[in-house]
Amino acid sequence: MSRLAKKPILVPEKVEVNLSGGTLTVKGPLGTLTRKISPVISVVIKDGTIVVSPKDEVLTTRQLLGTTVAHIKNMLAGSREAFVKKLIVEGIGFKAEVKGAEIVLSLGFSHQIKLAIPKDLKVVSEKGIVSISGSDIEAVGALAAKIRSLKKPEPYKGKGIRYDGEVIRRKQGKKTT
């Protein structure tokens, strides 16, 4: 059994947790998150704690157990405090702007790239840094990964889009004789 699942999960103050029909709903100050729970996992809510256990001892059930616990903990954390990912846009002429419900990126291509921002996320762009925040960690990570994939950082000059704190190993260019 997963080490995470051996301990009960404490439900923080100002957060409501409901389980109905295999769907777990977490309601907190920042919003409501829902997730479908696998039918092979048993989730019990009582006395301000959530207990997750397997219904049988099959390998796939044990694999899902730790994943389910991690998802529940992320839902509880996201309902109280927003998850934030920061991207750094680096390069001459590279820029990112937020216009209404979309982000417009100029990345050295012949055209600008426009991406729609999901309703539950907040995107702020200032001086080459794009901050993505929201209560759903998967949505924040997916949008950040999608933006980064448009122009990955290159190792010679470091141009491109990278995560804040990401280290790009730089290579030496051609030597002149």
The per-residue pLDDT for 176 is 77
Predicted confidence (pLDDT) at residue 177 exceeds the cutoff of 90: no
Please tell me whether residues 75 and 87 are part of one structural domain. no
Residue 131: strand pairing partners: 86, 124
What's the pTM value of the predicted model, to 2 decimals? 0.87
Predicted confidence (pLDDT) at residue 169 exceeds the cutoff of 80: yes
Residue ranges of alpha helices (H) inside 14-136 are 59-80
pLDDT tens digits for range 127-150: 889 999 999 999 999 999 999 999
Mean pLDDT over residues 37-62, rounded?
89
Closest to 51 (Cα-Cα) out of 19, 81, 21: 19
- The torsion angles phi and psi of 63, rounded to 5 degrees, stand at -70, -40
Rounded distance, CA 95 to CA 112, Å? 10
- Model confidence at 57, pLDDT cuts 50, 70, 90, reads confident
- What CATH number has the domain bearing residue 26? 3.90.930.12
Mean pLDDT over residues 22-31, rounded?
91
Predicted confidence (pLDDT) at residue 2 exceeds the cutoff of 80: no
Please tell me whether residues 90 and 145 are part of one structural domain. yes
Please tell me whether residues 88 and 159 are part of one structural domain. yes
Please tell me whether residues 88 and 42 are part of one structural domain. no
The per-residue pLDDT for 1 is 60
Per the structure, the complete domain to which residue 97 belongs is given by 83-163
